[in-house]
Amino acid sequence: MEDQSTKSSRYTKAIVCGVPSSLPALAQRQSDALGAVDYSEAVRQHAKYVATLKHLGLELIELPADENHPDCVFVEDVAVVCEGVALLAYLGHPSRRGESAKMRKVFDDLGWTVHEMEHPATLDGGDVLFTGKEFLVGLSTRTNHQGLDSLAKAFPKYPVTGITVKDNLHLKCMMTMAGPDLIVVGGSEASKNAWNEIESTARFKYKRLVVNEDKAANCLYINGTVVHLPAHEIPSSYDTFKQLPCEKIELENSELFKVDGCLTCLSILL
């Protein structure tokens, strides 16, 4: 999960990881309906993603692809970070739990304080939405109540609220930050229900920008710029982003989306 303080801090670094050739055949996916991953295209789209982060002024920590962990490109899930503290997640899917070791070294080298989550707590960073004021955490097939408790202990300064996730892998598959106190939310019934839960249980109030497609609701907010999917990937939602007064950049993500990867999944912003 990204260190998403939308009010006062600016990102200076990002952690990314290469796309392993084992991903098309072995990465976890909820459904085969979207078809096979074109590996060459996935690598091309990921390279553009990395180049965009550099264009936005971020210094990148680039980890090599790990063929033994086909989902390793989705680094967001592995750690929750905020203000010099990193919580290494005990990932919800057993096949991914070996990904934490190399991430531990990254944060040790950065001199950060590191906490490690332990069984029976499970958590994926894709379920963690940090608003700059509090953590909204999806209770999903990958993240449980013990995971919320572990996060709350690692970051005692901020409130932590659990939000029910249905019909999606992670909370951030249907909502992300798109500006200070602004959350972009998908148009599905599950997304609407999650938003209603936020309105009734979160400690703070937020504005909402609704997009028709849930996949469109996953965007990156980096130092005043919103990075979102292009029109051919979100035809029913694309024009909604024109309402945002900030700079906007479009990035394709069609291939990694086939294995449940969204834009935020591909980096940890520091």
Q: Which residues are catalytic?
A: 170, 265
- Can you tell me the distance from the alpha carbon of 86 to that of 63, in angstroms, rounded to the nearest whole number? 17
Residue 168, token pair as written in the block? 């999606």
Long-range contacts of 251-254 (CB under 8 A, 24+ apart): 251/45, 251/48, 251/49, 251/52, 251/227, 252/45, 252/48, 253/45, 253/49, 253/229, 254/41, 254/45
- Can you tell me the distance from the alpha carbon of 37 to that of 25, in angstroms, rounded to the nearest whole number? 8
Per residue, the 3-state secondary structure of 172-224, as one string, reads HHCEEEEECCEEEECCCHHHHHHHHHHHHHCCCCCEEEECCCHHHHCCEEECC
Helix/strand/coil for 6: coil
- Can you tell me the distance from the alpha carbon of 98 to that of 114, in angstroms, rounded to the nearest whole number? 17
For residues 35 and 63, the answer to whether their CB atoms sit within 8 Å is: no
Residue 18, token pair as written in the block? 């290469």
For strand 59-63 and strand 13-17, is the pairing parallel, antiparallel, or unpaired? Answer: parallel
Name the nearest CA neighbour of 263 among 220, 232, 226, 225. 220
